[in-house]
Amino acid sequence: MAKPVIGLTTYPPGPGHGPHTPELYVQAVVRAGGAPVLLPHVGADMVDAWLSRLDGVVLIGGGDIEPARYDGGEHPTIYNLNPARDDTELALTRAVLASKLPTLAICRGLQLVNTVLGGTLHLHLPDVVGEDTLHRAPPREPVPHPVRVQPGSCLAGLLGEHSESASWHHQAIDQLGEGLQPVAWAPDGVIEAVELQGNPQLTAVQWHPEITAADDTRQQALFDHLVRLAASQAT
């Protein structure tokens, strides 16, 4: 049986290299039994061609979405804005939601989902919830914190009702996009995961499961679930 093909979004090019995806995401997909391919942000006109060949998608983390995309303001901590990446990934996100293609949205990926559905983001979490719960260690490093998961949610079926998760973000959902329901929270009340009414093919989390998935079967379960859904769709 052919492995389901899983597209992963990419970071921008840099000196000496083109668009790229951190190895932790790629290996998590491989462990789950998927065949990973990278999706460079080369234009929204690529999306239909991708979706005709993909069985699932991972919307990976990365820099901030341009605040104008969700009617946000300015903040000195906003970083790594990339209009070309926003254009491509917002179009891809709209398409996977419309087609109900199996999708795992991680950190920036969750924020893309919320933005496409008309939601907004907190520009800088310490301004809103303080720093009793760290969502990112200085200067910009991942940090663990507990997550409480809604009993009976699809996510609870994968993780259980409590999880220790690797957090690496300074923004998060403010106003929820249409049809989204929060299903996980940090100790300070920040929304850590959402589910979309009528679309069980979407898993969207604010933390970074790829960081610990190699050693934590519950975090790996998010990638396993994606590949199972993709394999089912491919048959």
Q: Catalytic positions, please?
A: 107, 208, 210
Q: How many CA atoms lie within 13 A of 14 on its CB side?
A: 5
Separation CA 145–CA 142 (nearest Å): 10
**Omega of the bond leading into 138 within 30 degrees of 0 (cis):** no
DSSP bridge pairs for 44: none
Separation CA 40–CA 233 (nearest Å): 24
Separation CA 122–CA 113 (nearest Å): 15
Separation CA 37–CA 32 (nearest Å): 14
Helix axes 108-116, 83-99, angle to 10 degrees: 70
For 116, the enclosing helix (H) or strand (E) is helix 108-116
What's the distance, Cα to Cα, between the start and end of the chain in Å? 9
Tokens of 161: 């009702």
CA-based R_g, the chain, Å? 16
Q: Which of helix, strand or coil describes residue 88?
A: helix
Helix axes 217-234, 23-31, angle to 10 degrees: 70
